[in-house]
Amino acid sequence: MTKTLIIATGRCGSSALARAIKENYLCDEWYDEPFNPDLNTTNEITGIRELNEYQEKTYNFTAPWEDVPPNTVWKCLLTLNNYPKQIWDEKPIEEFFVDFAKKFENVILLSRRNHAERLYSMLHGIQHSTWHFQYYPKKITVMPGDTFIQINDFMEQNRRLEYISEKLNKKIFYYEDLFTDQETSEKTWSEMIGKVNDYEATWLRWLQPKLRYQKDLYQKGDQPK
């Protein structure tokens, strides 16, 4: 596998999928939301895009977006303005990714059927910073202002992905078919990417249901202390 692009709505398992692809196909690197200004910034001295240190990831995003290095996996979300700033006035984000996808041999479109769970996960992340680890659900409060903007963008992500799907003639895959029993998950993976020799190892490490970030508060033997 040389160049793989995951275009996803937020909170649908795209990070775990990207890591699984990198590990399975021995990719040199995976780029995590390279156009997200909250994760990557431009060094004012060198002009190079760099990962914010607080994320404690193992890479720096140093390649310009026009040049996609071989043997890499890119995970990009369709959230507001998460594409190169210099072309914000030229085209909307969905048009950018229709063009950007042409630089890749393998393009995966990923979302989640259960929009209520995805919305809850997004709001929970905003209010409790539960973006990258498992958590027990806590109370969330919907307030005017930024929260309404984020909810509107949440809905727009679905429309953007459907537009990209139509333009690229690509199927949208779903979280529920990947983070599930091994047989269903393997069928989904095979359709997305192709078969692997030992899918059980991939499923156990990255995609089995108990690895989902939101934990069941009432699961026996797994209550918070």
Question: Hey, where are the domains in the chain?
Answer: 3-210
> Beta strand 29-32 with 72-77: parallel, antiparallel or unpaired?
parallel
Band of the pLDDT at 42, cuts 50, 70, 90?
low
Q: How confident is the model at residue 11 (pLDDT cuts 50, 70, 90)?
A: very high
Q: What whole-number distance in Å separates Cα of residue 185 and Cα of residue 174?
A: 10
State phi, psi for 40 to the nearest 5 degrees. Answer: -130, 140
Q: Tell whether the torsion through CA atoms of 137, 139, 145 and 148 is positive or negative.
A: positive
Tell me the per-residue pLDDT of 98-149, one tens digit each, with 9 for 90 and over.
999 999 999 999 999 998 888 888 888 888 888 888 889 998 887 777 677 8
Helix (H, G, I), strand (E, B) or coil at 163: helix
| Residue range 3-210, CATH number | 3.40.50
- Residue 9 pLDDT greater than 70, yes or no: yes
206 has a pLDDT exceeding 80: yes
Mean pLDDT, the chain, integer: 84
What pLDDT was estimated at residue 48?
Answer: 59
Rg of the chain, C-alpha, whole Å:
18
Higher local confidence (pLDDT), 194 or 49: 194
Contact present, 157 and 79 (Cβ < 8 Å): yes
In the structure, what pLDDT confidence band is assigned to residue 97 with cuts at 50, 70 and 90? Answer: very high
Interacting residues of 42 by C-beta distance below 8 A, sequence separation 6+: 48, 49, 50
Alpha helices in 83-134 (DSSP H): 93-100, 115-128
158-194 per-position pLDDT tens digit = 999 999 999 999 999 999 999 999 999 999 999 999 9
Find the DSSP H helices in 68-114.
Answer: 93-100
What are the Cα distances from residue 27, in Å, to 65, 77, 129? 18, 20, 29
Specify the pLDDT at position 225.
39
On whether the CB atoms of residues 123 and 142 are closer than 8 A, the answer is yes
Q: How far apart are CA 128 and CA 186, in angstroms?
A: 33
pLDDT confidence of 221, banded at 50, 70, 90?
very low
